[in-house]
Amino acid sequence: MRQLPLADPGTPDLRSPTRYLWWLARQQLSTLGGGLIFGITWMLAQALTPAAIGQGVNALVSYTDATGRVRRDHTEVPPEVLHHVHDQLWLWSGAVVALAVIMAASGVIRHRFAVSNWLVAAFRTAQLLGEHLCAAPVPITATIPTGDVVNTMASDAMRIGGAYDVIARFVGSIVAYLVVAIIMFQSSVILGLIVAIGVPVLVGVVSPLIKPMQVRQLAVREQAGKLTAVGADTVAGLRILRGIGGEAVFLDRYRSRSQAVRAAGVAAATPQALLDTAQIALPAVFILIVTFVGAHLTLTHQLSAGALVAFYGYAVFLVTPIRTATEFVERITRAQVGAGKVIRVLEIALPTPPAEPAESPPVGADLADVVTGLVVGGGECIGLVGTDPDATMAVAERLGGFAAPAGTFGEVSLTALATEEIRRRIVVSETEPRLFSGPLRTELSEDATDERLREALEVAAATEVIEGLPDGLDEIVEERGRGFSGGQRQRLTLARALLKGDEVLILIEPTSAVDAHTEAAIAAKLRAARLGRTTVVVTSSPLLLDHCDRVAYFIGDDLVATGTHRSLLSTEPRYAGTVLRGEG
């Protein structure tokens, strides 16, 4: 039994989709080899069955009279001939049974290897994507749309795995085709040439359909990613949309994207339909040709009756290699498209881990932003506010080690510290509150005591949220916290951040979704709860800024002033305009 997730998924080759697929194959050579052995055995058993049946027919035909009817008067046949015919019939009947047993056993084992190859390749890819998404310094969705990321994880990984499912059958088909061609050449050069030339021609006729199918499938893939992104955005903001009456606008957007996906799907269906038709029609024509030529050769006594039966069986059997070949090309095409999408995600640069992590900064060390020159003193509560919210948020992300160039912690660059230490000592709470399904107690903290939970909830003004739940802290949270309002989710995530961020806590717009009364309650308690520990608050709320030890004011990317909230109001008119928005 193979354990998933894998202990080490490996380092993929990202130079091209083909190299990535080849790298995946090398990671599971043992199971691929097992699949090839039993795949070849399975296909050969099918290929040799018509030959055994043909030999049996020839033995029976030798036991007929001039009219072709089976002799019933055994006295007309010498005993030694009769015994030989019986022996031949038993021999070839036994051969057919043996081939059937081998076919059944090898088919079962081949299928097990095929499923294993498929699932391991798919899950290895999914694990690589998952670990990369978790290790990325900034959200992947800042570079790639959310829908594309979701589809890459959900669909492309499985399409890549599908290519390894068909490999054993494809190689087995090639070997069986060569064996059948050799047998047919020995019986009839004409039929051998028809098979040797006809099968590659059929595959060649199908091949031109692959490229347009690949291009159009890629278009469908991109449109589906955009549709998923619109759906995710709509679901995430459904409560707000209902509040402002915006459902119709997003419904039109979703309908428009759906129609784009439908149109792309219809366009992709044309080469797909042609391919499916070719897989059925062309082998049927091939069977007709082989059967017609074989019957003619039999009537002219150039081919025995048993050989004709065998040749018909070969023609029917060769439908399987042809279909397998076209299926292999189709699966590889899809896998190439999927591998390209996977590479697009995995190529997003990750921070280079230091060869030897630097000495840990002392507790209470200063944080500094190397871009703006801002220094956050150890144990200080500082507010960050600016004319460009994105620029101010970027400062916080650099201080938290989520954006380049990373800040310094106690004069040590964050890039020189182990990621585990940074995440343990510096906690960044994003502006968008995210809750996952499960018990609320463990969602907030897995090890906090009831007293610590209560204190954090009081600071975050979230006590009333817990009191309104039937099961309190044992309430099961719905996916993404859909059962809570935006303000409730924000307060719960603030409580979670307070429980996690013991040493350095960076809060990005922690009260943007709550009312003024709740914001005032949070502002009054937050500073006291974080006394002696470093706290950075990105906000433009005067209520929060008034409780900070110091405020840093930015215009664009430039740090222009620092001081208390009240001093900046009196000395920096631009600051007053930013935080008061013209309200006196």
pLDDT digits (tens, 9 = 90+) for 22-37: 999 999 999 999 999 9
pLDDT in tens, 159-207: 899 889 889 999 998 898 888 888 878 877 887 787 777 767 776 776 6
Average pLDDT over residues 393-414: 88
Rounded CA gap, 518 and 490, in Å?
11
Residue entry with tokens 């343990």: 424
pLDDT, residue 76, reads: 57
Q: What is the pLDDT of residue 69?
A: 47
| For range 494-511, the mean pLDDT | 89
237 versus 486: which is more confidently predicted?
A: 486
Does pTM surpass 0.85?
no
Tally of CB atoms within 10 A around 95: 17
Task: Classify residue 538 by its DSSP letter.
Answer: E
**pLDDT range class, residue 550, cuts 50, 70, 90:** very high
Give the contacts of 535 (CB within 8 A, at least 6 positions apart): 380, 381, 382, 504, 505, 506, 507, 526, 527
DSSP 477-501: EPGGGTTS-HHHHHHHHHHHHHHH-
Dist. CA 344–CA 139, nearest whole Å: 14
Structure tokens at 494: 């603030």
Q: How far is CA 63 from CA 60, 74, 137, 233, 442, in A?
A: 5, 10, 81, 78, 83
Is the model more confident about 121 or about 83?
121
CATH class of 367-580: alpha beta
Assess whether pLDDT exceeds 60 at residue 582. Answer: no
The band of 224, judged by pLDDT with boundaries at 50, 70 and 90, is confident
pLDDT band at 225; cut points 50, 70, 90:
low
Asked if the model's pLDDT at residue 285 lies above 70, the reply is yes
pLDDT at 300 over 70: yes
- The least confident of 49-63, 149-163, 421-435, 537-551 is 49-63
Structural tokens at position 331: 């699966």
Which of these ranges, 59-68, 480-489, 568-577, has the smallest mean pLDDT?
59-68
Given a cut of 50, whether residue 73 has pLDDT beyond it is no
Q: Is pLDDT at 516 greater than 90 in this prediction? A: no
Q: What is the pLDDT of residue 488?
A: 87
Identify the pLDDT of residue 234.
Answer: 62
Element of type H or E holding 21: helix 17-27
Parse the chain into domains and list their residue ranges: 17-346, 367-580
Question: Residue 392 pLDDT more than 90?
Answer: yes
**Residue 174 region, left (φ>0) first, then alpha (ψ -120 to 50), else beta?**
alpha
Q: How many helices (H) does the chain have, and how many strands (E)?
A: 21, 12
Could you identify the residue written with the tokens 């049996």?
A: 56
Element spanning 516, H or E: helix 516-529
Q: Quick one: which of 514, 418, 505, 398 has its CA closest to 456?
A: 505
pLDDT at 343 over 80: yes
pLDDT of residue 252: 77
- Asked which of 163-167, 353-357, 411-415, 526-530 is least confident by mean pLDDT, the reply is 353-357
pLDDT at 141: 60
Q: At what angle do helices 189-206 and 157-187 cross, to 10 degrees?
A: 160
**Predicted local distance difference test score (pLDDT) of residue 66:** 43
pLDDT surpassing 70 at residue 155: yes
Residue 260, SS3?
Answer: helix
Top-confidence residue, 336 or 326: 336
What is the DSSP annotation of 340-356?
HHHHHHHTS--PPPPSS
Residue 228 has pLDDT above 80, yes or no: no
pLDDT digits (tens, 9 = 90+) for 242-274: 555 566 777 777 788 788 878 887 877 777 777
Q: What is the mean pLDDT of residues 233-242?
A: 56
Q: Predicted confidence band at 70 (pLDDT cuts at 50, 70, 90)?
A: very low
Exposure pattern of 183-215 as b/e (b: 16+ CB <10 Å)?
bbeebbeebbebbbebbeebbeebeebbebbbe
pLDDT tens track for 449-498: 888 889 999 999 999 888 888 888 888 888 767 778 888 888 999 999 99
For 403-422, what is the mean pLDDT?
Answer: 85
- Percent of the chain scoring above 70 in pLDDT: 84
19 contacts 55 by C-beta, under 8 angstroms: no
* The pLDDT value given to residue 473: 85
Residue 450: per-residue pLDDT: 83
Give the range with max mean pLDDT: 197-201, 246-250, 356-360, 370-374.
370-374
Q: Which CATH number fits domain 17-346: 1.20.1560.10, 1.10.8.10, 3.30.1490.120, 1.10.10.60?
A: 1.20.1560.10
3-class secondary-structure state, position 554: strand
Return the SS3 of 15. Answer: coil
Contact 407, 367 (CB under 8 A): yes
| Cα distance between residue 217 and residue 449, in whole Å | 53
> Of the ranges 58-72, 103-117, 439-453, 518-532, which one carries the lowest mean pLDDT score?
58-72
Lowest mean per-residue pLDDT among 7-21, 171-185, 186-200, 528-542? 186-200
DSSP state of 508: E
Residue 92: its pLDDT value, please?
Answer: 85
